[in-house]
């Protein structure tokens, strides 16, 4: 590891610790940032995000609140089931190249509708034209989860974690994101807590 990459890695680790501390404030009901119009105006001239969160479109998962970040601190990319399609990956590449982020957190969540749709499709071996693209993208983790765990909701939780790991692995092997630390995490809808997912 070169000195430059060591420093970069240290910066990413410190950023991750900062996000997890923000989540601690969120869970404790003691957020530091109000994100009101005054904060928006103060942040308006420029932005200095240090991290990106790649998460699901779910309306209950609001990354800026979950990590207690202010305007201009966090770049958020969202697709249903955090499927790393071209636009999402291109956005993260842009964030790394142009905005200098050192960290990407892939954030899954419990009771994910996209994962649930994929599980139903695998179980019944049918496709719904309204969600065909997503089902296709999420078929592998859904079918693997069902082959390893039969009962719901455990299978859904397992499939979601598999999809977090797949997304992390996908981003990790891209040379365009070289030097960016990519970690997986899960958001608990009930407690508000974020926990890291080992890549194993």
d(CA 178, CA 83): 20
Of 69-108, which residues contact Zn ion (CB under 5 A)?
none
Q: Which is nearer to Zn ion, 96 or 115 (CB)?
A: 115
Cα atoms found within 13 Å of the Cα of residue 125, Cβ hemisphere only: 0
Q: How far is the CB of 133 from Zn ion (least distance, A)?
A: 15
Residue in 53, 56, 181, 183 binding Zn ion, rule: CB under 5 A:
56
Three-class SS state of 185: strand
Q: How far is the CB of 56 from Zn ion (least distance, A)?
A: 3
Identify which range of 19-27, 93-101, 111-119, 128-136 contacts Zn ion by CB under 5 A: 111-119
Pairing of strands 181-187, 194-197: antiparallel
x/- string (CB under 5 A) for Zn ion, residues 13-52?
Answer: ----------------------------------------
d(CA 103, CA 109): 19
Q: In whole angstroms, how far apart are CA 123 and each of 27, 126, 146?
A: 36, 8, 8
| Residue 110 in the binding site for Zn ion (CB under 5 A) | no
Q: How far is the CB of 122 from Zn ion (least distance, A)?
A: 17
| Residue 112 in the binding site for Zn ion (CB under 5 A) | yes
Q: Which is nearest to 77 in space by CA: 65, 93, 97?
A: 93
């Amino acid at each position: 590891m070169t000195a430059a990459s060591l420093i970069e890695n240290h910066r990413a680790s410190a950023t991750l610790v900062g996000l997890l501390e923000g989540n601690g404030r969120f869970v404790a009901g003691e957020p530091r940032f109000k994100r009101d119009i005054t904060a928006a105006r103060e942040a308006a001239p420029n932005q200095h995000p240090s991290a990106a969160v790649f998460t699901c479109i779910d309306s209950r998962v609001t990354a800026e609140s979950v990590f207690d970040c202010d305007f201009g601190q966090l770049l958020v990319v969202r697709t249903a089931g955090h499927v790393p399609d071209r636009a999402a990956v291109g956005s993260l590449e842009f964030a790394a190249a142009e905005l200098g982020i050192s960290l990407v957190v892939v954030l899954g969540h419990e009771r994910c509708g996209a994962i649930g749709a994929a599980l139903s499709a695998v179980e019944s071996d049918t496709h719904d034209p309204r969600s065909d693209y997503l089902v296709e993208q999420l078929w592998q983790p859904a079918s693997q989860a069902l082959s390893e765990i039969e009962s719901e909701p455990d299978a859904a939780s397992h499939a979601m974690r598999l999809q977090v790991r797949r997304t992390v692995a996908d981003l990790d092997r891209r040379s365009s994101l070289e030097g960016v630390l990519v970690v997986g995490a899960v958001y608990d809808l009930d407690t508000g807590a974020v926990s890291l997912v080992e890549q194993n």
